[in-house]
Amino acid sequence: MHKNIRLYSWYFATTSFLAWMPVFFLFFSERLSLSEVLQLEAIYYISVVILEIPSGYFSDKIGRKKTLLYGAVLLCFAITFYIYGINFWWLCAGQIAFAAHMAFISGTNTVFHFESLKSENLESEYGQREATVNKWALISGGFGALLGGWLSGYDLVYAYWLSLLAAIIALIITFLFDEPEIQNKEKAQSNIIIQLTKCVAYLKNKSLFWIFSLYVIMYIMVHVPYEFYQPYLKLLEDEQLLNISSAPVMSGILYASAMFVGAYAASQSIVWKNKIGLNRYLFLMFVMIIIVIGLMSWILHPFLIVVIMFRSFGWSAVKAPLFEVITPQIDSGQRATFHSLMSLVNRLGFFGLLFGLSMVTASGENSSWEQLSLLLKICFGLGLLGGILLLVSNRSQMKSTTFDAVKD
């Protein structure tokens, strides 16, 4: 399994090299109204929701390598649909293919990493290695954003061509993987309903349920500034408040800066978690995310670009610590399905938020500061309410969490 461990960082880096991410909202907005763009994003999230559990079950039943391989193929298809997308339905096909890609690799990638390490008796290094892998993935995403933003200054579609090249490399790397072998591996249930029931049963652990709930709210909130920082930059440019560069180029720089800041957070995440305690650490990162949304909702000013740079800090800082605690506690026959369950709830929540926000916006209307500010204030209020309810509902969970280990 040494080959898996050696190649995994490269695989994660190439699948994270999505050069179109800093300009996707602008790319869609060239072709669609704001309401249609939000609907397109909602379609992506509901598609992931529909595919999450089946893809996780597929991974537990069929194998990690095949699941990652199908995910890599779907990524190539998705980007191709984007490149040749001439209307809403072509772009919709791209969103569905990209959603399928995300569903297939979500959870399976980190489980593949853990089980490859376990095959070499290196599972004790999983947390720190996962943090390192996340760091390099964020650095890769940052450089992709810089290049994509620069190329988009000429034509937004160039960022998609660059991403397609990285996707093809990821596909080649996936072919080179070996299927991890785990001794005494528990098999996935023959019935997907039974499989899902066993995964839900893990949430009877109150501490795990609290972490799970906070993780869901964090996921939803961290994607708010991610979703809206591109129209925010465009408004700065339209109001002649941003004279540094064009919106696509500036978006690439800002996205890359956020990735580099996130890479630092990821590299230090295990150390910080050990010093603060897992639950307190998670909640601290949550507060940072809420502050970013709040400031964006009230102020349209170039100074906020610095604040937006930290939008990924909290999320990047919690992924490795969470996976370090959760992944080993789930039996091997349910690991990918459980991670898919987490992703399903995350994305279902964000889909609901996006769909609700699309109802607030007027059909056919382009974004304005008044409209964008209202949407961000709604998100800020919902996030603040969710955080308060979660904190008040079980203050005892702020104590350090302990779990009974589950052995393969």
- pLDDT at position 78 is 95
Contact, 1 vs 120, CB < 8 A? yes
- pLDDT at position 404 is 44
| Type of residue at 109 | N
Q: How many CB atoms lie within 10 A of CB 400?
A: 12
- pLDDT at position 372 is 87
Exposed e or buried b for every residue in 265-282, given b needs 16+ CB within 10 A?
Answer: bbbebbeebeebebbebb
- pLDDT at position 199 is 87
- pLDDT at position 295 is 93
Chain centroid offset of residue 188 CA: 26
Q: How many CB atoms lie within 10 A of CB 339?
A: 25
CA distance 329 to 164: 36
CA distance 59 to 70: 11
CA distance 407 to 404: 10
- Name residues whose C-beta falls within 8 Å of residue 100's C-beta, 6 or more positions apart in sequence: 47, 51, 55, 71, 74, 78
- Name residues whose C-beta falls within 8 Å of residue 126's C-beta, 6 or more positions apart in sequence: 113, 114, 117, 323, 324, 327, 328
Exposed e or buried b for every residue in 69-83, given b needs 16+ CB within 10 A?
Answer: bbbbbbbbbbbbbbb
- pLDDT at position 175 is 93
- Name residues whose C-beta falls within 8 Å of residue 245's C-beta, 6 or more positions apart in sequence: 153, 253
- Name residues whose C-beta falls within 8 Å of residue 226's C-beta, 6 or more positions apart in sequence: 311, 312
Q: How many CB atoms lie within 10 A of CB 402?
A: 8
Give pLDDT < 50 ranges for the chain: 184, 398-408
Record the pTM.
0.74
Q: For residue 262, what is the enclosing H or E element?
A: helix 247-276
CA distance 290 to 373: 15
- pLDDT at position 51 is 87
Burial zone of 17 (CB within 10 Å; 0-12 exposed, 13-18 middle, 19+ buried): buried
Chain centroid offset of residue 375 CA: 21
The alpha carbon torsion through 330, 336, 339, 340 (nearest 10 deg) reads -140
Q: For residue 108, what is the enclosing H or E element?
A: helix 108-119
Q: Does domain 2-179+188-398 have CATH number 1.20.1250.20?
A: yes
- pLDDT at position 191 is 72
CA distance 262 to 315: 8
Round to the nearest angstrom and report the end-to-end CA distance of the chain: 18
Domain boundaries, the chain: 2-179+188-398
Structure tokens at 232: 């925010």
- C-alpha to C-alpha distances, 298 to 236, 241, 388, nearest whole angstrom: 14, 16, 21
